[in-house]
Each structure stands twice: as structure tokens, then as C-alpha cells.
């Protein structure tokens, strides 16, 4: 029987992160599930023993929280094989309608939080794991490679992450046996989708023919009807769960020699 992999998941209390955490546990692997509100994982703690599930409070916008999460994972399980960097959220609104403070706060999570989790993961894989190695999986978005109206700052945060991780992957020594993957997901039905921030529309953007008006109208209607927004996230995590098993992934690599993978792959589920 193979040794269970140890996963550290950010944003594990809802959405894609919650789906992945549940799948990891069902498959018999070990989950270090982190969230701003770890009490939202109490139902899983009733089902799974502490030898398989460790729930940790983590706000990825706080570097000390990140350091502490990896330290607790090391103490509990001795290693981390996969980091599923998923924490993030979106802001819906025209660029001119989005307050700078809100955009900066989102960047602290979506970009700086993911960047610091990534740096901590690579360092841990190299310095703490014996033998060294590991897989960093970043949950990005299709709007990180193809911007859409009403998602300007969210797109910008994902574009920034894409660029950083492409560079990061190309810098690593292949002898470290470390892989980096960015997964650009489309729209999925998760609680996080319903929490996309919607401020007041900018008064200049009021023509019914403008794309931002159409998007606001569609999102408002879906919220009012309680209809699912997007695809089933469980199908996405089923695909992503197997990523660490592949010697190479069906994706674009920054260097054929490095064995390090930077995936720009849209999951079709």
C-alpha cells in the first residue's frame, strides 16, 4: 500500500478548497486544511482522525500565519508533499467603480498571499522534505489569461500571479524535484461565487448595451433565483487530484530540461 500524501490546502472551508479537502480525505491522503475560519471544518473533524486531518487558522495575507501553518504541518506529519494554493476571492465591478482600498485588499490575498504561500512551499519542499521534492498547485482563473469586463482588478491579480509563477518555475533547480502548476479554471458553482463583491455601478456605465451592465444584470438575476452559477467544482478537483501522480503534465513547461511544470491548462469538466 502506497504512503499517503500530505496536502496543505489554503481556503479549505468553502468552494474548490472544501471540495479538494473532502476528496483528499476520502482518498486516504492526509489534509492540513487551512482557513480563516477553521471551525467551518468541525464536521470533518468528527469523521476523520487527527492522524489524517489537521485544521489550522490561516489568513494568507499574514506572512506569520503562513510560516506557522507550515511549521504545524511539519510537527504533525513530518513533511508536505503537495500545496494546494486556493485562497482568494473576486470583486465584480467596473475599474472606475472599484475603490482602490478594496482592490488593494483583494491583491493582498489573491496575489501577495498566493505568492508568499508559494515561496514558503518551495522552501519547505527543498529544505524540510526528505528527500526533497513536492508539488505546488495554484488555483488561478481563465480571467488571468483572458480578461473580462467587470473583473478588471480580479483579472489583474491573476495575471500577476501567472507571471510570477512562470518566472518562479523557470528559476528552480531540477534536482530539487519540485513542480509548479497553475490551473486556470472557468466558472464553478461555489459559495465564493455568490460572495463576489458588487459595489455601485459607475454612473457613466449605464447603457444597456455595455458589457458590464449585462454582467451585473445576469449575476443579480442568478443570485435572486438562487440558481447555480457555473459548473460542478467536484469534477474539477477530481482532475486536479491526480496532478501530482504525473511525471509530466499535459501543459506548457518553461524548460524541457527542468522537469518543472508550469501548466496553462483549462480544465474542461
In this structure, what CATH number is given to the domain that contains residue 129? 3.40.50.720
From 12, 140, 157, 181, active-site residue: 140
- In the predicted model, what is the mean pLDDT of residues 156-170? 96
Q: Give the integer Cα–Cα distance in Å for 186 and 143.
A: 8
In a domain, residue 1? The reply is no
Q: Domain span at residue 31? A: 6-265
246 is catalytic: no
Q: What stretch of H or E contains 137? A: strand 134-141
Residue 158 appears among annotated catalytic residues: yes
Residue among 85, 84, 88 nearest 29 (CA): 84
Q: What confidence tens digit (pLDDT) does each residue in 198-257 have? A: 557 888 998 999 999 888 888 777 666 665 566 677 888 988 998 876 655 533 333 232
- Tell me the whole-structure pTM to 2 decimals: 0.87
The total domain count for the chain is: 1
Which position among 48, 153, 154, 262 bears the catalytic label? 154
pLDDT digits (tens, 9 = 90+) for 177-205: 999 999 988 765 555 544 455 557 888 99
pLDDT digits (tens, 9 = 90+) for 7-21: 999 999 998 999 999
- Residue 90 placed within a domain: yes
> Do the domain assignments include residue 128?
yes
CB-based burial, 79-104: b 16+ in 10 Å, e otherwise: bbbbbbbbbbbbbbbbbebbeeeebe
Spot the catalytic one: 48, 155, 157, 158.
158
Poorest-pLDDT segment among 117-131, 161-175, 252-266: 252-266
Say whether 140 is catalytic: yes
Amino acid at each position: 500500500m502506497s504512503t499517503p500524501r500530505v496536502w496543505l490546502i489554503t481556503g479549505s472551508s468553502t468552494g474548490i478548497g472544501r471540495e479538494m479537502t473532502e476528496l483528499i480525505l476520502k482518498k486516504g491522503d492526509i489534509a492540513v486544511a487551512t482557513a480563516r475560519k477553521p471551525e467551518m471544518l468541525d464536521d470533518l473533524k468528527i469523521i476523520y482522525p487527527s492522524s489524517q486531518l489537521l485544521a489550522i487558522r490561516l489568513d494568507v495575507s499574514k506572512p506569520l500565519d503562513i510560516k506557522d501553518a507550515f511549521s504545524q504541518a511539519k510537527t504533525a506529519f513530518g513533511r508536505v508533499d503537495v500545496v494546494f494554493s486556493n485562497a482568494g476571492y473576486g470583486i465584480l465591478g467596473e475599474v472606475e467603480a472599484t475603490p482602490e482600498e478594496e482592490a488593494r485588499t483583494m491583491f493582498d490575498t489573491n496575489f501577495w498571499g498566493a505568492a508568499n504561500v508559494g515561496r514558503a512551499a518551495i522552501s519547505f519542499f527543498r529544505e524540510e522534505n526528505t528527500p526533497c521534492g513536492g508539488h505546488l498547485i495554484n488555483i488561478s482563473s481563465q480571467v488571468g489569461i483572458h480578461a473580462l469586463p467587470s473583473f478588471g482588478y480580479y483579472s489583474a491579480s491573476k495575471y500577476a500571479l501567472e507571471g510570477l509563477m512562470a518566472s518562479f518555475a523557470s528559476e528552480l533547480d531540477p534536482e530539487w524535484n519540485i513542480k509548479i502548476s497553475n490551473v486556470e479554471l472557468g466558472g464553478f458553482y461555489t459559495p465564493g461565487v455568490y460572495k463576489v463583491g458588487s459595489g455601485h455601478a459607475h454612473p457613466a456605465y449605464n447603457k444597456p448595451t455595455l458589457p458590464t451592465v449585462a454582467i451585473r444584470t445576469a449575476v443579480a438575476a442568478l443570485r435572486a433565483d438562487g440558481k447555480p452559477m457555473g459548473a460542478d467544482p467536484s469534477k474539477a478537483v477530481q482532475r486536479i487530484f491526480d496532478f501530482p501522480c504525473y511525471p509530466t503534465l499535459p501543459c506548457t513547461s518553461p524548460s524541457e530540461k527542468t522537469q518543472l511544470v508550469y501548466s496553462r491548462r483549462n480544465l474542461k469538466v
